[in-house]
Amino acid sequence: NAGVTQTPKFQVLKTGQSMTLQCAQDMNHEYMSWYRQDPGMGLRLIHYSVGAGITDQGEVPNGYNVSRSTTEDFPLRLLSAAPSQTSVYFCASSYGGLWETQYFGPGTRLLVL
């Protein structure tokens, strides 16, 4: 199993550009989530999904969109990038939800100029 994979590993954007961060898992996990990690702060939940076709907002959803068309994939879209979205983004998955072991992807480092 590849586990949780994320692409790209690193990306530089200009303010106003859009992009999609990819996340995929091959463990047949129902629950998937996106976090951002900023210096001096704990990880914060952006969006999560409890299964294909079902998504919900987390703590810091503004500026981000998600969709879940398959169990395996959970892409995160930045509609119009802003410097405040410079961060490291982690995707995670688990079989049933937040009361189970979370499996994290390797992260995507995003720099918005």
Partner 1 sequence: KNEVEQSPQNLTAQEGEFITINCSYSVGISALHWLQQHPGGGIVSLFMLSSGKKKHGRLIATINIQEKHSSLHITASHPRDSAVYICAVTLTLYGGSQGNLIFGKGTKLSVKP
Closest CA to 80 of 21, 14, 33: 14
Minimal distance in Å, beta carbon 86 to partner 1? 15
> Where does this chain touch partner 1 (CB under 8 A) — which range of 21-29, 52-60, 62-70, 75-83?
52-60
Contact between residue 23 and residue 41 where contact means Cβ atoms under 8 Å apart: no
Chosen residue from 58, 61, 63, 75 binding partner 1 by CB under 8 A: 58
Contact between residue 73 and residue 51 where contact means Cβ atoms under 8 Å apart: no
Contact between residue 108 and residue 88 where contact means Cβ atoms under 8 Å apart: yes
Whole-angstrom distance, CA of residue 49 vs CA of residue 41 = 23
Q: Report if residue 100 touches partner 1, rule: CB under 8 A.
A: yes
Strands 103-104 and 19-25, bridge-based pairing: unpaired
Judged by CB under 8 A, the number of residues near partner 1 is: 26
Q: How far is CA 72 from the centre of its chain?
A: 13
Residue list 12-51, contact with partner 1 (CB under 8 A): 31, 33, 40-45, 48, 50
> Where does this chain touch partner 1 (CB under 8 A) — which range of 19-27, 61-69, 75-83, 88-96?
88-96
Chain residues in the site for partner 1 (CB under 8 A): 31, 33, 40-45, 48, 50, 56, 58-59, 88, 90, 92, 97-104, 106-107
